[in-house]
Structure 1
Amino acid sequence: MRTPPRFDRGHTDDLMTFLASSPTPYHAVASAAERLEKAGFRQVSETDAWDGSLGGRYVLRGGAIIAWYVPKGAHPHTPFRIIGAHTDSPNLRVKPRPDSGAHGWRQIAVEIYGGPLMNSWLDRDLGIAGRLSLRDGTSRLVNVDRPLLRVPQLAIHLDRTVSSEGLKLDKQRHLQPVWGLGDDVRDGDLIAFLEEEAGLPAGEVTGWDLMTHSVEPPAYLGRDNELLAGPRMDNLLSVHAGTAALAAVAGSGDDLPHIPVLAAFDHEENGSQSDTGADGPLLGGVLERSVFARGGSYEDRARAFAGTVCLSSDTGHAVHPNYAERHDPTHHPRADAGPLLKVNVNNRYATDGSGRAVFAAACEKAGVPYQTFVSNNSMPCGTTIGPITAARHGIRTVDIGVAILSMHSVRELCGAKDPYLLANALSAFLEG
């Protein structure tokens, strides 16, 4: 067992930088790729032939990244050790005809993505970011990271029932942000604005995938700065920790019994059914091509998958001090008490007893404490990419994560040490 890791605030500082620079899944994978490049990884194209050479590689597709490191001595049947995560978060996404408005206000038409806490988007200064598709078939990332839009809340004087009946929001009528004044709403205004922001000629953009984000940066808070508040921690906290763990393991030498992998998918918040989601073919295709590029057969592929383990890392619920009755009475996960092992016997999480043993061994090796999350029997349990990964690829999968408050809010909260503890546990897992 290692000596318990002394908290390194540098990891959490870097997480804050990662969160701020990753307002969309496309920016998140670009940020992860930049960190992996510095660790010696190089990008490979899915349309090129792959070779079986040693070292780090990664594939980018939309808002997903799959990265792996082939050490010396790896055989075609060498198993994989996978960290799974997702890059998307609930938010407000721009509709195909974005320009809207009424009564002298210019607005942007948005659609609700995933399951956000809608009230958390009210009266926030919002930027806009995403991917612009160009006439020549390429794409360009854009990020207007300054106050540009706002979803104004109705004054209490115009809705006295708020105090007695609570806030009720209609997704179609009440969440359309304003971004200017005027009665002349012209189609193409937003896209023309973003072309200018991105330094593109007028009319160059023919498609877009755009979304809003809060421009308030991540911050430490609390008496002793022991808490971290920020956007998109569900689940960029895990993407960042997995990236850091893979880079650290790849840089520690080639004495690895497994092939370490990071698989960060898009579209988890709406079911994972896409070509970049966990329920798509991306991960399986990359792993199989890695086996075959090293001279392997289908038999080698079957052997490698049979010995593979995946840690599906996603945020979980810390016990809420104001709503403790919503949690299981014998499972009260706390902030800064180490990562969660997430269990559900109805397979909303993929963890079983053998998976628990794998995670316990990694935490023991890293000197990291861990705790267990189980839902209150009276509350429906959420799910992750874990069961999807296990069922689609036939590999043993364990669900874990970091305990947070305000999940799916525009701004979430966790202990400042937990991201560092998670990264240490993930590194030990990848080492085998």
Structure 2
Amino acid sequence: MSARRIALALFALGALGALLAGCAPIDAVRGIAGRWQQDGDSAAFYDVGSVAPGRPGEIVRSQALVGPPAGSRAWRILYHSTDQDDRDIVVSGIVVMPTAPSPPSGRAIVSWAHPTTGVAPVCAPSRTIGGTSLIPGLHGFLAAGDVVAAADYPGLGVANPSSYLIGRAEGRSVLDAARAARNLIGSEAGTDLLLWGHSQGGQAALFAAQEQRAYAPELRLRALAVAAPASDLAALLRDHLDDLSGVAIGSYAYSAYAAAYDVPLDGILTAEGIAATPSMTRLCLLSQVGAIHSIARPLVGGYTTADPGSTEPWASLLAENTPGGVPIGVPILVAQGLRTSWWTPPSPPRSSVACARRGSTCATCGCRRTVMAWSRSRPAARWRAGSARCRPAPCRPPRADTPRSAPRHPTGTPDRLNRPSTGGRTPGAGRHEAGHRW
């Protein structure tokens, strides 16, 4: 991949990260949920039964998708990957490629890591009708000639234990989705890799970047962009101990860790919280958020018994799954919303500070305008042009005087007692925030 191509890729990724981190307006987010319709006819595709172990990225089966974007072909795929304990698993996802001729060196691969959708198998993006429309920037990447791979993560699509916020498992599934794209006949994918993730997917993409050299050395990582990444898990859960998001999304995280690490939930959740958690984890965030919140709302303030960031073994497990401990060595774009009229953002993404310490080329962007990142009407050229405000540069820790939309405690956490009015609604209720770090 030429230096110019890398620059253009960062330009596009930067624009997308900036737009997503700016916090999509409520109507746009509702539009995403409106497109979240499960494909009931696809269930048999995900029933893998007994499958012999395979090489990471090896295709188990594929199925052409009906109605891909104009000028492209798309497949729903099952492929081999490995979990956090190096066990062979089967993961699902989507691959989309342009129909235009590929360059002699093969197409670059953009591996997209999606934000939180849920932890039940039916919550997988690839199991929705029109799942390709949920990949931000897809049309721009296809126009640039790229192949786009989108992992569902372990536990989504194919029935496996949930990998929610388990960095190695998520990151490996993102890398193996790129490998699967190369193994898919007709994809014409090369070895150049661009990683792009949002929210939960930001953590997954950061772990994929950290693991790439040792785990997938045949791929050539060229750039990484993350928007509103889950970059400090202990702080993230601590910031939401007493709100609706902390219960709803916490149910996903605590149950996944309990299963993956054999940790009893009674060390962190109340008896009422333990009883309600299975009901929340069966529901999908974008299509059933009202039902999740109806279960979670009575538990606000009474879901956890302690701060997981200072309670063992949870504190160590969260630290283990927080990105930033391994040098990445490629240009990185970290984008985070700074101000909206209806949401108080958390402190700047700590991954940008870790990036600065690691010596990578990094840009940290704060976008103060509310923008519609998910709109199909915004052409890729506009996305690319928007990145002028977020150019890669030597990474520096975020400034302490960054403007905020609400007063903050001396500790730097949002002052929930002084948030702007939300018209009587619980902040964040009923919507999935693009600028949020889930």
TM above 0.5, yes or no, is: no
Decide which structure has greater helix share.
Answer: 2
Where relative contact order (Cα < 8 A, 6+ residues apart) is larger, the structure is: 1
Decide which structure has greater strand share.
Answer: 1
Q: If you compute each CA radius of gyration, which structure gives the higher value, 1 or 2?
A: 1
